[in-house]
Amino acid sequence: MRLSVAAAISHGRVYRRFGLSPRSRLDLLRNLVTALVRYERIETPWARADEMRGYAERLIDYAKRGDKDERAMRMADFWLTEKDLIHKLFKVLAPRFQPHAGSYTRLLQIPNRDGLDRAKMAVIELKGNPLPPLVRPRRDSDRTLLNQLLKGYRQDAQRARGT
Amino acid sequence: VLVLVRSPLPRLRALLQRCWGRLERGLWPGIFGGQSPPWGPALAVQGPALVPQGISDAGAPSLPESVVWMAAPKQRRTIEVNRCRRRNPSKLIEIKRNIDVCPECGNLKQKHVLCGYCYAKVKEETRLIRMEIYKKEGGPFNAPTVETVVLYEGEKPTEKDEGKRIIERARKRPSWFVQD
């Protein structure tokens, strides 16, 4: 029976490899999390944004415990390299996301980078940020068949309620 | 320039005479009367065996048995066969069927990607807002502990924006930035 994993098979591995070493990967993701908490919307390669998303959302879950919690404070201290953001995390982001149960970030793909590498880029932002919205929610036009039928049904119900 | 051509001739003639003499002595040893010993009986051998063996007839010259023979094409591939291989559908570039028109600006966009033009607009506006934020904060590492709201010309903060920091932008509110 196979007792060791052959090289170049990575079935079931969930974490991508970045940087020069596992420590370097964590530092890279830590910089991205700090930037996200500071600027609330950043544009990075898609793989890094996808990897960073989980760490950012877990950090906000820790922050929701409150700043009196020892583990939450240690996590925030490690993950945010700029220490004024710890205050922002506990006083601004935790109350903002208190009603949400999860999914505090939005990840959208943008056109490939203009440089030589044409990398797949993404923009990741915290929901509820004060910046202009990236995607406007589009409602279907009123002239579609389904919407016209629904409008008729609504009018009928109103008339029935009125009389 | 006068070149003397006569003088090498007597030397050349003497050389030729000596060579001719040697040759005659070798071919007809009996004629010159005993200057070379008479030839005895010799081996009668076939013609090709007289020639020494190392020079010609080397089929695989000086190769050891453990040589590796590499693969090489035997025949030239015709242009028809080449065309079949090069133009096989698996080698052609796939056509993309996920390109649509952005409903806001009318530029082309891929279905799962944001429109490049609309994103550039939003990116420019966020850059200007961030410049205003930096001016208000005054320096690095001064992140505020309250929420932020962006107000354009002629707008007053509502009761929803009670405890928030206000960032002013000196222009009319763009139509795509809806305040909600």
pLDDT at B31: 60
Complex ipTM value: 0.86
pLDDT at B51: 55
The pTM score is 0.73
pLDDT greater than 90 at residue B32: no
How large a percentage of chain B has pLDDT more than 70? 75
Does some domain include residue B51? no
pLDDT at A137: 86
Smallest Cβ distance to A92: which of B104, B112, B146?
B146
Residues of chain A with Cβ-Cβ distance to B142 below 8 Å are 84
* Mean pLDDT of the B148-166 span: 91
pLDDT at B25: 79
Report how far residue A26's alpha carbon sits from residue A16's, in angstroms, rounded to the nearest whole number: 11
Residues of chain B with Cβ-Cβ distance to A134 below 8 Å are 114, 119, 122
Residues A19-77 pLDDT 10s: 999 999 999 999 999 999 999 999 999 999 999 999 999 999 999 999 899 999 999 99
- Do residues A43 and A122 touch, judged by C-beta distance below 8 A? yes
Inter-chain CB proximity A85 and B145 less than 8 Å: no
- A112's tokens: 């490939």
pLDDT at B58: 55
pLDDT at B66: 85
- Do residues B109 and B120 touch, judged by C-beta distance below 8 A? no
Smallest Cβ distance to B141: which of A84, A92, A130?
A84
Q: Which residues pair with A107 in a beta bridge?
A: A124
- As for how many domains chain B has, the answer is 1
Lowest mean pLDDT among A17-21, A129-133, B39-43: B39-43
pLDDT greater than 70 at residue B43: no
Chain B residues within 8 A (CB-CB) of chain A? 103-104, 110, 112-114, 116, 119, 122-123, 125-126, 129-130, 141-150, 167, 174, 176-178
- A137's tokens: 């929610």
Q: Which domain holds residue B139?
A: 108-168
DSSP assignment of A56-93 equals HHHHHHHHHT-TT-HHHHHHHHHH-SSTHHHHHIIIII
Smallest Cβ distance to A134: which of B114, B142, B143?
B114
Does some domain include residue B153? yes
Report how far residue A28's alpha carbon sits from residue A19's, in angstroms, rounded to the nearest whole number: 7
Residues B47-62 pLDDT 10s: 555 555 555 555 556 7
pLDDT at B53: 58
Q: What is the residue extent of each domain of chain A?
A: 14-162
User: Domain A14-162, what architecture?
Assistant: Alpha-Beta Complex (3.90)
* Mean pLDDT of the B155-171 span: 91
Inter-chain CB proximity B103 and A138 less than 8 Å: yes
Closest residue of chain B to A43, computed from CA coordinates: B123
* Mean pLDDT of the B78-91 span: 97
Residue-averaged pLDDT of chain B:
84
Residue in B98, B128, B145 to test binding to A, most A beta-carbons within 10 Å: B145
How large a percentage of chain A has pLDDT more than 70? 100
Residue in B111, B118, B123, B146 to test binding to A, most A beta-carbons within 10 Å: B123
Q: In Å, how far is A64's CA from the nearest CA of chain B?
A: 15
Report how far residue B43's alpha carbon sits from residue B60's, in angstroms, rounded to the nearest whole number: 31
Report how far residue A125's alpha carbon sits from residue A50's, in angstroms, rounded to the nearest whole number: 12
Residues A76-127 pLDDT 10s: 999 999 999 999 999 999 999 999 999 999 999 999 999 999 999 999 999 9
Residue in B101, B110, B114 to test binding to A, most A beta-carbons within 10 Å: B114
